[in-house]
Amino acid sequence: MALVSEFLGQLTLNLGPASEPKYPSVVPVVDFDSDKDAARIETAIKTKGVDEQTIIDILTKRSYAQRREIAFAYERRAKKDMISALKGALSGSLESVILGLMKSTSQFDATEIRASIKGLGTDEETLIEMVCSRSNEELVDIRRVYKDLFKKELEKDVAGDTSGQFAKLLLALVQTKRDDPSSVVDYEKIDMDARALYEAGVKRKGTDVATWISIMTERSVPHLQKVFERYKSYSPYDMKESICKEVKGDLEKSFLTLVECLENKQLYFANRLNDAMKAKGAKEKVLTRIMVSRCEVDLVKIRSEFKKLSGKSLHQTITEHTKGDYQKVLLGLCGGDD
Ligand SMILES: [Ca+2]
């Protein structure tokens, strides 16, 4: 018996906290040959006027691990760095996407956060999207990579560049205090949290933001989904309407993003993609960021939310709203039509 329980103990240990399931549109290619890919990219870069199509075809159809292998193989044969060579050969939006693909998802996310806070002013929209939409697991990786890349603490940078309750909310998220999902549904706690959210906001004069922050950043995602449902039995307004009534500005935007992502993260990204493409002067930065950062995470699920939301597939919408090599590279990341 002792042996069996030891074995079971070990099993539990090895499983660790459950990772979120993945729905990537960009997956490893079978029969991978890094030398062959590197040779084709070398030729494409050397071609007069650059053969962008080949670069797109290869790099959007390999996993990050494979793209890295290709970069090593390229460096061995060409005696120079593939990323610098790509920078020299490409330009504009295509260049941004391809260089983004040469980073791992957490390196890319860390770099986007860094770019949103460094220098004069802060790009709050980007910062909110990055911090409020990422899972605990993703934020743990981002924090580690951020320190590796920039020799700075993510918490300090985020808190140093924002202020007030907005800073407190972002900081609490970056500190990854959220519980892992539990197999037991605690109805009593769901009810208590729902009532606490109501009493801290709609029910009282002013808002007890600290209570909102602690509940929304420390409880597990499935627990909060049930809390927001239960919330409606206390409050005449749902959680998102309550946020709009109670708080303003960046704090309002952050809470809204957070609640949307807790309820259905892929729907949030589908909405962002839809808005970015339909906005006057398409917001290429948002489009690039979401396509690059989610293609190896959950873009297939985002695609199905997108279709439900807009009636058109993401593939078709990209075709209608972008053009040239940028369109080709986005379609490569998008994968199939739905
Ligand atoms: Ca109030």
Q: Among the residues of 247-323, which ranges form H helices? A: 249-278, 284-294, 299-310, 314-321
Element (H, E) at 147: helix 136-150
The region that residue 272 occupies, defined by phi over 0 for left and psi between -120 and 50 for alpha, beta otherwise, is: alpha
Query: Angle 221-231/249-278 helices, nearest 10 degrees?
Result: 100
**Region 105-158: CATH code:** 1.10.220.10
Q: Please state the rounded mean pLDDT for residues 286-298.
A: 97
Q: What is the mean pLDDT of the chain?
A: 94
Cα separations in angstroms, 263 against 123, 256, 260, 299: 25, 11, 5, 17
Q: Is the separation of the CB atoms in 129 and 257 below 8 Å?
A: yes
In percent, the amount of the chain with pLDDT more than 90 equals 90
Q: How far apart are CA 5 and CA 227, in angstroms?
A: 36
26 secondary structure, DSSP code:
S
CA of 213 to the centre of ligand 1 (A): 15
Distance CA 128, CA 280 (A): 22
Please tell me whether the overall predicted TM-score, pTM, comes out greater than 0.85 for this model: yes
Residues with beta carbon < 5 A to ion ligand 1?
207
What token pair was written down for 211? 């209570």
Ligand 1: distance of its center to the CA of 198 in Å? 9
Summarize pLDDT for 252-261 with one digit per residue, the tens: 999 999 999 9
Structure tokens at 337: 């039509």
Q: How far is the CA of 127 from the centre of ligand 1 (A)?
A: 26
Provide CB contacts within 8 A for 212, sequence distance 6+.
Answer: 197, 200, 201, 255
Lowest mean pLDDT across 263-267, 281-285, 326-330? 281-285
CATH (residue range 187-262): 1.10.220.10
Over residues 11-40, the mean pLDDT reads: 81
Q: Where are the domains of the chain?
A: 34-90, 105-158, 187-262
**CA 242 to ligand 1 centroid distance, Å:** 9
16-20, 159-163, 197-201, 265-269: lowest mean pLDDT where? 16-20
Q: What are phi and psi of 297, to 5 degrees?
A: -120, -65
Count CA within 13 A, CB hemisphere, residue 301. Answer: 15
Other CB atoms within a 10 A radius of the CB of residue 338 amount to 15
What fold, for 34-90?
Annexin V; domain 1 (1.10.220)
| Rounded distance from Cα 130 to ligand 1 centre (Å) | 28
pLDDT band at 12 (very low <50, low <70, confident <90, very high): very low
Tens digit of pLDDT for each residue in 184-210? 999 999 999 999 999 999 999 999 999
